[in-house]
Chains A and B, each alone.
Chain A
Amino acid sequence: MQHYTMNLTLKVWRQKNSKSKGHFESYQVKNISSEMSFLEMIDVLNEELIAEGKDPIAFDHDCREGICGMCSMYINGRPHGPWEQNTTCQLHMRAYKDGDTIVIEPWRANAFPVIKDLMVDRSAFDRIIQAGGYISVNTGNAVDANAIPIEKQKADDAFMAAACIGCGACVAACKNSSAMLFTSAKVSQLSLLPQGDPERKTRVLNMVAQMDKEGFGACTNTGACEAVCPKGISLSNIARMNAEYFSASLVAQ
């Protein structure tokens, strides 16, 4: 792998807090190594801003290895940037070349208000889970783990759905700011497993109701969410949730 350095122009969304209006600001960054991660490039810029007595750019991040779901930048019109199945923190600068301009924005959705700069409030996701994204089993109630065999294919499918990191890129990519991919991933995981069966009907109804209440938009099957999802959560989960919802509403009526 040949390493190189580059100079870039960044256009970054700056917004003091949830109440103020934001704007773009331009920065020049120099001698960025192709080996850096995208967030390390921002670190370099922030160190320079601090040295110049300016306010560094606020952004969410923690694990920096693509699993916590904290990082959330909308880069040149695409959540998490140009790479397939990737998070912002895993994006590396070799994706860019000398002279590039990069526009960086926060997730944009009514249900995700901006806290500061590139940081948004995603607590709506927690409230969707609170509405039913669990199996009601108190500690100590469990039977032996091997008492319920589960078909391998189902277990694997449940795992694939459970791999969602709750980042919200799906919402950010959707023109309707729909949270269907996120919600359906959890509904799918629990409806594929026998343990999830007793609460199957109330779960899907309550989670969808909460999703609507939080102000997420409707799903028009565009598939933008799947295209940007860093964990490859599939649209088939949405189909499964719709079916679950349909049969649950029939019973509820």
Chain B
Amino acid sequence: MLNAKIPAGPLNEKWSTYKSTCRLVNPANKRKLEIIVVGTGLAGASAAASLGELGYKVKAFCFQDSPRRAHSIAAQGGINAAKNYQNDGDSVYRLFYDTIKGGDYRAREANVHRLAEVSGAIIDQCVAQGVPFAREYGGLLSNRSFGGTQVQRTFYAAGQTGQQLLLGAYSAIERQIALGNVEMFNRHEMLDVVVIEGKARGIIVRDLVSGELERHFGHAVLLCSGGYGNVFYLSTNAMGSNVTAAWKAHKKGAYFGNPCFTQIHPTCIPVSGDHQSKLTLMSESLRNDGRIWVPKKQADDRKPTDIPEDERDYFLERRYPAFGNLVPRDVASRAAKERCDAGFGVGTSKQAVYLDYADAIQRYGKIEANKQGLSNPSDDVIIKLGNEVIKEKYGNLFDMYEKITGENPYETPMRIYPAVHYTMGGLWVDYELMTTVPGLYALGEANFSDHGANRLGASALMQGLADGYFVIPYTIGNYLADEIHTKPIPTDHPAFVAAEKEVADRINRLMSIQGSKTVESFHKRLGKIMWDKCGMARNEEGLKQAIEEIRQLKAEFWSDVKIPGGINEMNPELDKANRVADFIELGELMCLDALSRNESCGGHFREESQTPEGEALRNDADYMYVANWEMKGEHEWQLHKEILDYEVVKPSQRSYK
């Protein structure tokens, strides 16, 4: 039986009760305890810094050349917190409720409530570090509403919120490095967890510059290694984002929770050709002012500006009059796909819809003209004024669009299409963020998280920092209090030797194949299977085919992949091969999970489970659980359900009509 270790008592008292009753480690003992942190994005850097400050001996690892480059840096829109600075009725309960509802009732109440409770302290901490959030003229912090929420609770720093938050956490970890409390290993990739007598006791890493394998001991191991959206090959994730750390943990006994829950973001720049290496997100905030449409005629090749108003289909406004262009991400994405599949897509690939700012430019232009007291302004003046307003609000995004596509979005509508963006699934963790392997924790996007089947905008940054700054410093003490007598285990212990040998053997095997196809080509093929059959819409037949195809792909990979270069040197192709091999195995599990969940919820849409109008149909009677998978052998998993108990919120069907 899975025990989530949720503290007893009323929901809003659980976390304070936990904090005042959990065991503590005294300062003298902290110095004797070593903690390994894999990953230094928001979750990892905040955890490593906070634990270092407490006096633990921390070793942190990342595969980039500096913690400042983690994928968290790319987050654009903002971070939520229940501060209620705008006096618009926000509260811890509301943020909790919105997150549970937004997650389509597939998240754990106690965790989500804690997340909402600590959200305010995150903003305080970041401001104290010097994070330059946007401010109003009075000098106080500015907020915006994000992703259609009814309150303004999102804090932001232009379109670079992730960058500023990460640089804050980075400065905190660098300070601990300077003080000697944290030892940092850049350009190192974790390739296995070492488990001794049932507890996580260390890791095996590869120094990516020299190619050498290293063993590191820790009394506890924290995985903060991010999400696995790159299993789809094309996604908005950074090129290096991967599942390897989480997957190795899974193979060593950690259960994987809800692997198929993937978030597809509606507003990304579409694929331009076979050469495409990644996709770029256009922030959700663009939907606040832009209108989404396709031509009413199929395969209409006219220029968008030549298509008259009454020949345009504003399909989100048509289908969802109450929310219009601001429906949640999953709903907007599926609606765009539906139009394109039906032959109404635009652009060369026909896999795109328009995001049009012409109306907004007019609207803002008129308001500006009014403000400036211009009577009867000409159309040109209105457009000029409107463009200025849009530039101030979205300038950096419009520039980015123009750099990539060569088109000017002030003059012609942008083309957008949904893309894989975030993975709600991940390693299962209990209330203390511990996986099913004692002493092994997962934080940030790497865990199955607080977002259920769909994450709300601006909540991933909040969760990563909540886990690292405010949750793990307490919960890890509760475990380490029993470890103060455990002496550091020498890394010539047989378990370390065996784990390193396993890693070395696998690398040797990969390098000895010397087949005919590049790693990249396998990754692309995997991505295509996943996108076509385990993407925005899934059905039984497709998923079964996908599982077969992935198994064949795996066999082919291990007999025909071609990796240049050597083992004991910098070899990016080998690094990639290690990751793609794990993605292939994960892909199979994702399809299996999607197959076993015959309902539609959040980002997971099973075609068999929809209303006559084509809306998602959840099935609480049969599927109100977290699906946790235990690996039993090759192609073999066992399902363990964590039944979700809603004590406070009453689940309802989401409707945006």
Within 8 A of B (CB), among A58-76: 58, 60-70
Query: Using a Cβ–Cβ cut-off of 8 Å, how many residues does chain B contribute to the interface with A?
Result: 82
Whole-angstrom distance between the Cβ of B82 and the nearest chain A Cβ: 13
Q: What is the CA–CA distance of A166 and B70 in the complex, to the nearest angstrom?
A: 13
Known: A126-B174, A134-B171, A145-B141. A36 touches B273 (CB 8 A): yes
With a CB–CB cut-off of 8 A, which chain B residues contact A70?
Answer: 64-65, 69
With a CB–CB cut-off of 8 A, which chain A residues contact B177?
Answer: 126, 130
Structural contact, A162 and B138, CB atoms closer than 8 A: no
Known: A43-B275, A43-B277, A146-B85. A133 touches B171 (CB 8 A): yes
Complex interface: stretch among A86-94, A101-109, A171-179, A240-248: A86-94
Q: What is the CA–CA distance of A79 and B580 in the complex, to the nearest angstrom?
A: 32
B81's closest neighbor in chain A, by CB?
A145
Which of A1, A136, A139, A141 has most B Cβ within 10 Å? A139
With a CB–CB cut-off of 8 A, which chain B residues contact A44?
Answer: 275
B210's closest neighbor in chain A, by CB?
A17
Q: What is the CA–CA distance of A129 and B130 in the complex, to the nearest angstrom?
A: 14
Majority DSSP secondary structure for residues of A touching B: loop
Structural contact, B53 and A139, CB atoms closer than 8 A: yes
Q: What is the CA–CA distance of A16 and B566 in the complex, to the nearest angstrom?
A: 12
Q: What is the CA–CA distance of A168 and B83 in the complex, to the nearest angstrom?
A: 38
Structural contact, A142 and B127, CB atoms closer than 8 A: yes
Structural contact, A40 and B275, CB atoms closer than 8 A: yes
Within 8 A of A (CB), among B502-528: 518, 520-521
Over the window 144-183 of chain A, the binary record of Cβ atoms lying under 8 Å from chain B Cβ atoms (1 yes, 0 no) is 1110111110011011001101100000000000000000
With a CB–CB cut-off of 8 A, which chain A residues contact B164?
Answer: 159, 162
Over the window 437-475 of chain B, the binary record of Cβ atoms lying under 8 Å from chain A Cβ atoms (1 yes, 0 no) is 000000000000000000000000000000001100100
Known: A33-B273, A135-B129. A152 touches B238 (CB 8 A): no
Known: A54-B564, A125-B66, A149-B138. A138 touches B53 (CB 8 A): yes
Whole-angstrom distance between the Cβ of B278 and the nearest chain A Cβ: 5
B383 within 8 A of A: no
Structural contact, B73 and A17, CB atoms closer than 8 A: no
With a CB–CB cut-off of 8 A, which chain B residues contact A130?
Answer: 174-175, 177-178
Structural contact, A63 and B238, CB atoms closer than 8 A: yes
Structural contact, B518 and A92, CB atoms closer than 8 A: no
Whole-angstrom distance between the Cβ of A191 and the nearest chain B Cβ: 10
* B139: contacting residue among A17, A47, A151, A166, CB under 8 A: A151
Q: What is the CA–CA distance of A140 and B565 in the complex, to the nearest angstrom?
A: 48
A214 within 8 A of B: no
With a CB–CB cut-off of 8 A, which chain A residues contact B132?
Answer: 155-156, 158-159, 162, 189, 193
Which of B130, B139, B141 has most A Cβ within 10 Å? B130
Q: What is the CA–CA distance of A43 and B275 in the complex, to the nearest angstrom?
A: 8
Q: What is the CA–CA distance of A97 and B407 in the complex, to the nearest angstrom?
A: 18
A190 within 8 A of B: yes
A51 within 8 A of B: yes
With a CB–CB cut-off of 8 A, which chain A residues contact B163?
Answer: 67, 163, 165
Whole-angstrom distance between the Cβ of B583 and the nearest chain A Cβ: 17
A51's closest neighbor in chain B, by CB?
B518
A115 within 8 A of B: yes
A121 within 8 A of B: yes
Structural contact, B407 and A1, CB atoms closer than 8 A: yes
With a CB–CB cut-off of 8 A, which chain B residues contact A98?
Answer: none
Structural contact, A86 and B68, CB atoms closer than 8 A: no
Mark B residues whose CB is within 8 Å of A: 46, 49-50, 53, 64-71, 73-74, 83, 85, 120-121, 123-130, 132-141, 157-158, 160, 162-164, 167, 170-172, 174-175, 177-178, 184, 186, 209, 238-240, 272-273, 275-278, 280, 400, 403-407, 469-470, 473, 518, 520-521, 562, 564-565, 569-570, 572-573
- Residue contacts A-B, CB under 8 angstroms, 29 given: A33-B275, A36-B272, A36-B273, A37-B404, A51-B562, A56-B565, A58-B570, A62-B69, A63-B71, A67-B162, A68-B238, A69-B73, A94-B406, A125-B66, A126-B67, A126-B174, A130-B174, A135-B128, A138-B53, A139-B172, A140-B121, A142-B128, A145-B141, A146-B83, A156-B135, A159-B158, A159-B164, A190-B130, A193-B132
Known: A126-B66, A155-B135, A156-B132. 10 other contacts (CB 8 A): A44-B275, A83-B403, A115-B209, A139-B46, A142-B127, A150-B139, A159-B132, A162-B132, A189-B130, A189-B132
Query: What are the 5 A-B residue pairs with the smallest beta carbon separation, nearest first?
Result: A149-B139, A134-B171, A142-B128, A142-B124, A159-B132
Mark A residues whose CB is within 8 Å of B: 1, 16-17, 33-37, 39-41, 43-44, 47, 49-51, 53-56, 58, 60-70, 83, 86, 90, 92, 94, 115-116, 119, 121-123, 125-126, 129-131, 133-146, 148-152, 155-156, 158-159, 162-163, 165-166, 189-190, 193, 195-196
